[in-house]
Amino acid sequence: MIARLILLSSLGLTLVAAPVLAAPAAPPAAAPAEAAVNPVEKPIRTLIGAIRFGKFPMALQQLSGDAQGKVLLGDEWQKATEAQRSEFIKTFHAVFAKQAMPKIQSNFEHLEAMVYEAPEITGDTAAIKSVVTVLHAMKKQEFKLKYKLAKVGADWKIVDVSVLGDSMLKGIRDDQIIPIMKEGGWNQLLQLLREKAK
């Protein structure tokens, strides 16, 4: 089950790693391409580049740990101490970087292209849909993804990725976090994360 969830998370982030299909790049004399990037897309593009070049700490900076904690732990997130929330974010991201990101990086070779739709922004949350084309030895596949983001200060941060309608975070929450919390609460959850992060 853990392998399936890691695979889902890996697939979710791996599939963001292809270049966006767009009009040909502007000549060098034109304004830098970065200036034209939608601010909601920027953390996704940064995440892609960071993972591609093995800069996993930079990739983790594109994620909203607090918003992810709220999704993963629901009401328990607000009941936790600040120290518990901080350790959860740190260890959850460490486990994610250790287990999923190397797999994501190795899968870049299978990606051909990605097309973003216009973001849907509602207050401090946003969603972007995309279609990713993946090339395999025998066939070409397209996957539909949806990214959820949250405004953190002046920047947008990634909260979740849904692949074929399956939320990465909700799968981890339902299959792993909830059972652990029922059995041993915060102490057991943090202990298990510490062990996996080593």
Which of 124, 12, 13 has its CA nearest to residue 66? 124
Mean pLDDT of 116-145: 89
Q: What Rg do the C-alpha atoms of the chain give, in angstroms?
A: 17
Residue 85's pLDDT is: 97
pLDDT band per the 50, 70, 90 thresholds, residue 24: very low
Higher pLDDT, residue 17 or 185: 185
Of 68, 69, 70, 50, the C-alpha closest to 60 is 50
CA pair distance 158, 73, nearest whole angstrom? 17
2-23+33-197 placed in CATH 3.30.1360.30: no
Predicted structure pTM score: 0.78
